[in-house]
A and B are shown apart, each in its own frame.
Chain A
């Protein structure tokens, strides 16, 4: 059973193809224009492995947090594919995906220009409190140590972790933004 993995949340665009839980292809592209590259990379991965979209039986998408536009691209592609081809979609945040690399309680962060997206996870990789976005100033006083180094995701682990998790309806799938937009703060 083929599973398509889509991660567009940050500068590295990652598309992978899994067969029965094993990663058989993974393409990583450093890109600042995900909108120009995502569909081509997906096509490349499918074509190189001679896999038709009709044989893809699961989609895993990183739903954020990160670049708003970046995350939206992966999410929109997953929504349309999932809806049209009736492919179950499973969504996971990038932070939770990274937490699978840790066997202990851990607080993880993704940096962007003005601050850090933060999430804390227990040993079972469950989110402990809501994700927060801390400005560079707020980080200084933050009580927990935030790991921001390890950005590797073990896609096989993600697949295993999501195995017994529920799929999300394509209509309801949406990005995890965490950060509020200016007018909402006002």
Chain B
């Protein structure tokens, strides 16, 4: 029998719902983005995000059910992202999910947003184990091994800033608009790698560090403007991007070599970056590994990935009760 899960995602600035069949097929997906509003302030304003989620919540539900041509009664379970993210925003999705679970008497499934990003790869591809998973987003930079569904072992993680955070900061010093990441990437296309920047971590672990690179760029821009020198913005964007991403490549290469695992998934918002994709593809070709990166729609925040990640929990009957609450941090392991 087929399983239909209504999934809800509201961890940052997108209110999204999806109907996902058997953890694979996206029957319908609706994403209401607040990006234009937050762009006015140069970044996501948490209270505004919570307010907009509240205003959108029933409209998004109506839209997704209409697209799916289904009723709430047809669902087998309600899934919701509960962490990590902005707690005020997460709570809107969580309360909506709990209300739906109550009034339709359906099981409630709590999904970690980051695990959702990984399972986004299961929508159009097939995840097979063992597998390496690189999570790159505004809040996270980590490298994991998955031996099976929901079995995670952390190899390394960022010791300070996440790579996405670093992208946003660089966007700011380069006077680029929010969202910073895609705009830095766009600018980098016009530049050449001419600036010498410090390599993030020189050690032999699987850990990452981006605060040094971030500071180096802030200082460089500051010093050049003090001297009255023009910044070659496109070149700086390009130099930053290569140093930042080459570090990911170096650590993933070490993992491919040492673990001999032949599968890599890249997940999280930064996986939308083209340079990252190209470099990871080259690396996987070299080690004859299979690379999975979701297409753009499923790279960025969306509820379909929450539905995909909820399915293994549904099969294991790992349900949540109505005390489920939001959490800003949400380590996978």
Q: Nearest residue in B to A78 (C-beta to C-beta)?
A: B99
Q: Count the A residues whose beta carbon is within 8 Å of the partner chain — how many?
A: 30
- B95 engages A76 (CB within 8 Å): yes
Q: Which A residues are CB-close (under 8 A) to B321?
A: 40
Q: Count the B residues whose beta carbon is within 8 Å of the partner chain — how many?
A: 33
- A77 engages B95 (CB within 8 Å): yes
Q: Nearest residue in A to B41 (C-beta to C-beta)?
A: A183
- A39 engages B45 (CB within 8 Å): no
Chain A-chain B contacts (Cβ-Cβ < 8 Å), number:
89
B72 within 8 A of A: yes
- B100 engages A84 (CB within 8 Å): yes
- B322 engages A183 (CB within 8 Å): no
* Bound complex: CA A73 to CA B102 (Å): 15
Q: Mark B44-55, 1 if CB is under 8 A from A, else 0.
A: 010110110011
Min C-beta distance of A6 to chain B, whole Å: 11
B92 within 8 A of A: yes
Q: Mark A147-179, 1 if CB is under 8 A from B, else 0.
A: 000000000000000000000001100110100
Min C-beta distance of A121 to chain B, whole Å: 26
Q: Nearest residue in B to A181 (C-beta to C-beta)?
A: B47
B323 within 8 A of A: yes
Min C-beta distance of B79 to chain A, whole Å: 15
- A53 engages B322 (CB within 8 Å): no
B238 within 8 A of A: no
- A76 engages B323 (CB within 8 Å): no
- B58 engages A83 (CB within 8 Å): yes
- B325 engages A171 (CB within 8 Å): no
What would 12 more interface pairs be, CB under 8 Å, given A36-B325, A68-B47? A35-B95, A36-B324, A38-B95, A39-B95, A39-B322, A40-B321, A69-B50, A76-B54, A76-B95, A80-B96, A174-B54, A183-B45
A-B contact pairs, 9 of them (CB 8 A): A36-B325, A37-B323, A39-B98, A68-B47, A72-B50, A80-B61, A80-B100, A84-B61, A175-B54
B residues apposed to A, CB below 8 Å: 41, 45, 47-48, 50-51, 54-55, 57-59, 61-62, 72, 87-88, 91-92, 94-96, 98-100, 102-104, 321-326
> Which 3 A-B residue pairings sit nearest by Cβ, starting from the closest?
A80-B99, A39-B322, A83-B58
